Structure 1
Amino acid sequence: MRLATIAGLAFAAAGLDGVESRAATPEGPLVSTEWLAANLNDPKVRVIEVSVQPGVFERGHIPGATNVRWHSDLVDPVRRDIASKEAFETLASTHGVTPDSTIILYGDNNNWFAAWGAWVFKHYGVDNVRLLDGGRKKWEAEKRELSSRPASVTPGSFKVTTVRPELRARLADVLEAVDGKRDARLVDIRSKDEYEGRIFAPNGVPELAIRAGHIPTAANVPWVKAVQEDGTFKSKEELRKLYADAGIDGSKPVIVYCRIGERSAHTWFALSQILGYETRQYDGSWTEYGNAVGVPITNLAGTVWTGK
C-alpha cells in the first residue's frame, strides 16, 4: 500500500496522474535530468538529440527522443548557411514540433551541437526551447534509461512566424566591430593555442583555414571554462564573473565565434540565454574569417600561413 502511495505521488509530481498534463517547466533555459526523466511521457515535451558522433543516437538515446543531424538537417545542403526557413519548417514538422511544444535539446560533446540547434530554433522564432543541462554525458553518468527503438512521433505542420536575424553576425558585422564602427565586443571561445595561432584546429580536426590567429580586439574565453566536470553549466554567478574578468559584462553587445560555430553556440547560449546578454553568433567563425581576403588578423605565435 505504501509503495502504491509513493508511486502515485511520483506520478502526480511528474504531471502523469491524469489531473494535469505535466509538472511545471522550470524557469530559465535549462532543464535537469531529474525533470526530464519525470516528464518523458508528456505529449507536449519534444526531446530531440543533436550529436556530432555518428551512430551515437542509434546505439541508445533518451526514450522518445528523435534525432537531428546538424550537418544535414540544420544546414543548407548546397550553400554554407543554416537551413532555410522552408527546410526548418519541414524539419520541425517532421519531429512533431507544435506551437505548444516544450522542446528539450541534448547531445554529446557537452551539448555543442545541441546549443547550435537551440540557436537555429531561436533564430526561427521558437522560444520554448531548452537544453538538457549536462546533455548525454550527465544522463549516461546517472545510468538513466536509454532506448535503441525509434521514437513514434506524429508529424505536425509547423510554420515560422518570426525570424530573428539579430541573433546572427556576418563577416561585415565582425569587421565593423574590429574597425570600431560597431559598438560590440568580440569573444573567441577556442583554446588558447588556437587563439594565439600555435595551431589551426583541435587535434584530429581538419585544418580548414589558411591562416592562424584570432580576430583583432577579440577576448579569449575558452568555452570549456563555462562547464563543470559533469558537463552542466556553471552557476549564473560563476559565469558572470568568468566573462566579466575578460571585460564582458553585458554593457555592450557581444559577438562570439570559434572555428565553425558549434563551440561558440555553447558560449552564445551561456551569454544570451543564461546571463541575458545581447549576443550574436558569428557562425562563419574562423573558417570564414581565416580564409577571407583583406581582413586583419592578430597572431601572437608568429605563424601566418599554414603554421609556418
Structure 2
Amino acid sequence: MIDDPKTLVSTDWLAKHLKDPDLRILDASWYLPAEERDPKAEYTAAHIPGARFFDIDEISDARSELPHMAPPIEKFMSRMRAMGVGDGHQVIVYDGAGIMSAPRVWWLFKLMGQENVAVLDGGLPKWLAEERPTEDMPPIARDRHMTVRFQNHLVRDVTQVAHASKLGTPQIVDARAAARFRGEAPEPREGLRAGHIPKSRNVPFGTLLNEDQTMKSVEDTRAVFEAAGVDLGKPIVTSCGSGVTAAVLALALERMGHSEWSLYDGSWAEWGMFPTVSVATGEA
C-alpha cells in the first residue's frame, strides 16, 4: 500500500514516525455490547506508545437520544485540547478490531476541518502480530489549541437522506451486513425495524478488508463498490447501524479519490425507529 497521512498509513510508517514530536496517536476502539469487550480497559492494559484514548460514546452530542452523534464544535475542541491534540499535529487513529471504529474518528476530524489525520491499516491487531511495542501508561497531555472549520457537506441528517432516497440521488450505500440490510437478521438495538433505506445499495464494510483486517487495494475496493451497483461517478451518502462503520466506506471512497461523499450520522439507529420513513427489505 501507499502510505497517505490524510487517509491510511501502515504499521511500518507509524513505527518510523513514533517519536515525531508533532505526532498524536488515538486509540478509538469501540464495540457493540454483544462483543462484551471493554475498550477503555483494553487501552489501560496495553496501547501503542503515546496513544490517547478517544471515547466515541463520550465525545458525542449528549443532547441527542441517538448513540454517539457528532459532538458540538465546542465540545470537540475542549476534549481535544485536554488530550493535547491540536493545530500542527499529525493524527493517527487505530482500533482494536483492525479497521472498524477508527474511521469514525477519522471522519470526525475531517468534519471539524482537520486534514492531517489517518487510520492505521490493520490497527492494533496487526501492530501486536508484528510484536511491536506497547505500554500501559497514558501519555502526559499538554493543552493545544485546535482551529475548527466545520465541514457541513460531510454529514447528512434524516431529512436529507429521505430526500435522497426519494429522488435516487445522491446514492445511499449501507455498510451493514447483508442479512441486516435485507431485513433477515434482527437489529442489535431494540425497537428498530428491519430492512434498509429504499433505493440504497449494500457494501458490507467487511468486504473492503483483507483477512488480516487491512484495507483492500484501491483497485479491489473499486471492484467491490461496482459489484454492488454503486456508480462511483456520482455523489454518495454512507450509512450503517449507528454511523460508525459507515465511516469505513467513507475512508475507502476518499482513498479512491471520490470526494463527493457524506455520512448519515443517525444511520439505521435513527431511520429504523422513524415511523414516517419507508423501509425496504430483500435485495437492493
Taking structure 1 as the reference length, the TM-score comes to 0.83
Name the counterpart of 1:46: 24
Deviation larger for 108-117 or 226-235: 108-117
Which of the numbers 60, 77, 93 marks the counterpart of 1:89?
77
Change (3 A) 1:27 1:48: closer
Which of the numbers 109, 126, 140 marks the counterpart of 2:97?
109
Name the counterpart of 1:77: 62
Per the alignment, in what secondary structure is the counterpart of residue 150 of structure 1?
coil
Per the alignment, in what secondary structure is the counterpart of residue 130 of structure 1?
strand
| Cα distance in 2 between the residues matched to 1:190 and 1:26 | 26
* 1:193-204 correspondence runs (5 A): 193-201=179-187
Change (3 A) 1:287 1:98: closer
| Cα distance in 2 between the residues matched to 1:170 and 1:150 | 36
| Cα distance in 1 between the residues matched to 2:210 and 2:13 | 19
Change (3 A) 1:124 1:269: same
Name the counterpart of 1:183: 169
Q: Give yes or no for the alignment of 1:298 onto 2:284.
A: no
| Cα distance in 1 between the residues matched to 2:27 and 2:256 | 21
* 1:23-42 correspondence runs (5 A): 26=4, 29-42=7-20
Per the alignment, in what secondary structure is the counterpart of residue 187 of structure 1?
strand
- Larger Rg over CA atoms: 1
Change (3 A) 1:127 1:64: same
Q: Give yes or no for the alignment of 1:57 onto 2:43.
A: yes
| Cα distance in 1 between the residues matched to 2:5 and 2:194 | 41
Name the counterpart of 1:130: 118
Which of the numbers 41, 44, 53 marks the counterpart of 1:67?
53
Which of the numbers 240, 265, 272 marks the counterpart of 1:283?
265
Amino-acid identity (%): 31
| Cα distance in 2 between the residues matched to 1:273 and 1:172 | 28
| Cα distance in 2 between the residues matched to 1:61 and 1:67 | 9
| Cα distance in 2 between the residues matched to 1:236 and 1:249 | 15
| Cα distance in 1 between the residues matched to 2:269 and 2:6 | 32
Name the counterpart of 1:306: none
Change (3 A) 1:28 1:128: closer
Higher relative contact order (CA 8 A, sep 6+): 2
| Cα distance in 1 between the residues matched to 2:147 and 2:177 | 39
Whether contact under 8 Å (2:25, 2:50) holds in the other structure is yes
Deviation larger for 124-133 or 292-301: 292-301
Query: How far off its partner does 1:300 sit?
Result: 2.6
Whether contact under 8 Å (1:250, 1:278) holds in the other structure is no
Per the alignment, in what secondary structure is the counterpart of residue 104 of structure 1?
strand
Change (3 A) 1:27 1:82: closer
Which of the numbers 182, 200, 206 marks the counterpart of 1:218?
200
| Cα distance in 2 between the residues matched to 1:253 and 1:287 | 23
Whether contact under 8 Å (1:57, 1:67) holds in the other structure is yes
Which of the numbers 236, 241, 251 marks the counterpart of 1:259?
241
Whether contact under 8 Å (2:192, 2:272) holds in the other structure is yes
Name the counterpart of 1:240: 222
Name the counterpart of 1:166: 153
| Cα distance in 1 between the residues matched to 2:154 and 2:146 | 21
Per the alignment, in what secondary structure is the counterpart of residue 162 of structure 2?
helix
Question: Which residue identity does 1:78 align to in structure 2?
Answer: R
Whether contact under 8 Å (2:218, 2:255) holds in the other structure is no
Query: How far off its partner does 1:26 sit?
Result: 4.4
| Cα distance in 2 between the residues matched to 1:272 and 1:172 | 24
Query: How far off its partner does 1:27 sit?
Result: 5.8
| Cα distance in 2 between the residues matched to 1:200 and 1:252 | 31
Query: How far off its partner does 1:285 sit?
Result: 0.9
Segments of structure 2 that go 5 or more residues without pairing to the other structure are: 31-36
Per the alignment, in what secondary structure is the counterpart of residue 72 of structure 1?
coil
Query: How far off its partner does 1:51 sit?
Result: 0.6
Whether contact under 8 Å (1:49, 1:65) holds in the other structure is yes
Query: How far off its partner does 1:210 sit?
Result: 2.9
Segments of structure 1 that go 5 or more residues without pairing to the other structure are: 1-24, 302-308
